[in-house]
Chains A and B, each alone.
Chain A
Amino acid sequence: MVPKTIRNIMNPIDLNWLKKVRMKKIESRFILALLMITMLPWGVFAQDDLMDILGEEVGQEIEYTAATFKSSHIINGHSIEQMKKQQLDFRINHRFGQLNSGAYELWGLDNAVINFCLDYGITDWMMVGLRRGTYQKTYDGSLKFKILRQSKGKRVMPVSLSYYVDMSINTLKITDSNIEDVFSNRVAYAHQLLIARKFNDKISLQISPTFIHRNLVDANQENDVYAIGIGGRYKFIRRVAFTFEYFYSSNTSGNDELYNSLSVGFDVETGGHVFQLFVTNSKPMIEKGFIAETSGNWADGGIYFGFNISRVFALGKTK
């Protein structure tokens, strides 16, 4: 038996049939291709399409910058960071004696001063702080408010901005009979705007315009002190950052005993603690002290080794 196709081809009369076969083949191929094209997006790429729909539905979100600094202080001064709601930061800040005090004082290690701080987040945008420090046996209370948060995405905000206010009370015994022992003579205030920007995960910078008012000062001093602070960090490896901080104060020029505060150090974070190790020419650890009353001079070794330990506790119920 001769196969059907060959038989057909061999038949010289019925050539139309061959044409029909060709037509059908082309047509079906064409339709198959079309089918594949139309089905393709719904089949293979369907998940990407769904992803696009999801993207449109969710829209752009505000991405707030977090962890501009590792802790609520850059070194001496406050950073833009503050405790979130119901988080308590317990800090112990130490400054040893002056490095140039010689071997008898073990280069300052015999003369440590200390400052205890408790900072608590009442809300995510308001923090209240209490401190007690060796310097002038000072008690102080502070408030810190978040005003702007650096963000990208749906809302672009180039910097974070906070307002910090502190009231401190000197509780030293007044031995000078010329000074009236009234409460108001012991009080000083500090106001700061903290403007910070996290440039990337390594570099953050902060500028802190500051106003300090002391109710009682020596005769050669002004009650009001204006200052501008600049601080920053360079987080060179995970968990460790280099930090620096400088305050230029209005009362240091033309004064032989007062200096601008300069500090450099490292932030080291472990699971639950942040350690800050640094050298600074400021012994006081409160704003009115290190900004307006820094007496150490870097040039002749009048610097102090210091370290801060911060431990954060989460209070309140687990959600």
Chain B
Amino acid sequence: MKLRYILVVIFSGILFASFAQKQITKSGTIEIFSETPVFTIEAVNNKVASILNVENGDIVVSTLVRSFKFHEALVEEHFNENYMESEKFPKAIFKGRISNFESVDFTKDGNYDVIIEGKLTLHGTTNYIKEKAVIMIKDQLISASSEFDVSLEAYKIKIENAYKDSIKDDILLKIHFEYKPYSKK
């Protein structure tokens, strides 16, 4: 009697884990924008990795800060060396979940407005964020997009007074991931 309970619990745990459907991308994009009358900064990173667990709405994102590519090499250098200090803090990481995960039907085509919340780590500083995003499902393929501002101050990225006019404190992030089903190698 006891044994049966235990076995049921253990097996259900294992089954639950192995059937947990994970979606992965290694080529997601994040674009960053800062526009002031003095200077426009744009960069693209298309080496962003992410996993979305459609069983429970968990989502993680990771990328190397150095993967952001700028049109001007000098700006890229400033970005890495002076602001993001990417040698010291090589990665940008997000760990979180879709908080209204129940409202997404992953089996049905359509666009779903969702709220993503979790911890964003940039420049060695972690902040809790809660932002709007859209989950798009088409032919069983899942993609996700979001746009939101990140405050430099909140991540202890200091802009010298001389450049305050050239760089906005709120940097716009445009995020787009196209997931594929993950299968263990």
Contacts and interface: CB of A to CB of B under 8 A. Distances in A.
A127 to B, nearest CB: 12
Of A48, A57, A64, most B-chain CB atoms within 10 Å: A57
B60 A314 contact: no
A272 interface: yes
A314 B69 CA distance: 13
B92 interface: no
A1 interface: no
B128 interface: no
Interface in A276-319: 312, 314, 318-319
Contacts of B162: 270-271
B163 A271 contact: yes
A102 interface: no
Contacts of A84: 73
A181 interface: no
A46 B53 contact: yes
Contact of A63 (B9, B10, B39, B64): B64
Contact of A35 (B9, B44, B90): B9
Contacts of A312: 72-74
Contacts of A319: 44, 69, 71
B97 to A, nearest CB: 7
B interface, over-half SS? mixed
B109 interface: no
Contacts of A83: 73
A230 to B, nearest CB: 23
Contacts of B82: 238-239
Given A34-B6, A47-B58, A66-B81, A314 B51 contact: no
B74 A272 contact: yes
A271 B60 contact: no
A34 B60 contact: no
B69 to A, nearest CB: 7
Interface of B: 2, 5-6, 9-10, 12-13, 16-17, 20, 22, 24, 26, 39, 42, 44, 49-51, 53, 56, 58-60, 62, 64, 66, 69, 71-74, 77-78, 80-82, 85, 87-88, 90, 93, 95-97, 118, 160, 162-163, 166, 182
22 contacts: A31-B6, A38-B9, A38-B13, A47-B118, A48-B95, A50-B58, A50-B60, A51-B95, A53-B22, A53-B51, A57-B26, A57-B182, A58-B62, A64-B66, A66-B77, A66-B80, A67-B81, A87-B72, A238-B82, A271-B39, A271-B78, A319-B69
Interface of A: 27, 30-31, 34-35, 38-39, 42-43, 46-48, 50-51, 53-55, 57-58, 61, 63-64, 66-67, 83-84, 87, 200-201, 238-239, 270-272, 312, 314, 318-319
Given A50-B51, A63-B90, 4 more contacts: A31-B9, A50-B58, A66-B77, A239-B82
